């Protein structure tokens, strides 16, 4: 996945969250819904990118520590 695609996906997710107050939670029929795998990959790219600005390079060993 490209960084540009990751940004597009995260922007779509932001739109989803922003309309939560008008959403009927029928995700299967929403034009904003994306495959879970793509969303998770986009988040991983964003986390890796931000981690390089916060933690010294090499300190992030796994993005799945919370599982």
Domain that holds residue 48: 3-54
Give the model's confidence band at 52: pLDDT under 50 very low, under 70 low, under 90 confident, else very high. Answer: confident
**Per-residue pLDDT, 62:** 56
Q: What is the mean pLDDT of the chain?
A: 85
Give the model's confidence band at 67: pLDDT under 50 very low, under 70 low, under 90 confident, else very high. Answer: very low
Q: Are 2 and 42 in contact (CB under 8 A)?
A: no
Q: Are 51 and 60 in contact (CB under 8 A)?
A: yes
Give the total number of structural domains in the chain: 1
**Residue 13 confidence (pLDDT) above 80:** yes
Inside any domain, residue 62 = no
Inside any domain, residue 60 = no
């Amino acid at each position: 996945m490209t960084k540009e695609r990751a940004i597009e996906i995260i922007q779509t997710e932001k739109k989803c969250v922003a309309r939560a107050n008008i959403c009927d939670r029928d995700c299967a029929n929403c034009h904003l819904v994306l495959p879970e795998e793509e969303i998770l990959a986009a988040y991983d790219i964003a986390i890796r990118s931000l981690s390089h600005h916060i933690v010294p390079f090499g300190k992030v060993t796994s993005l799945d520590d919370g599982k």
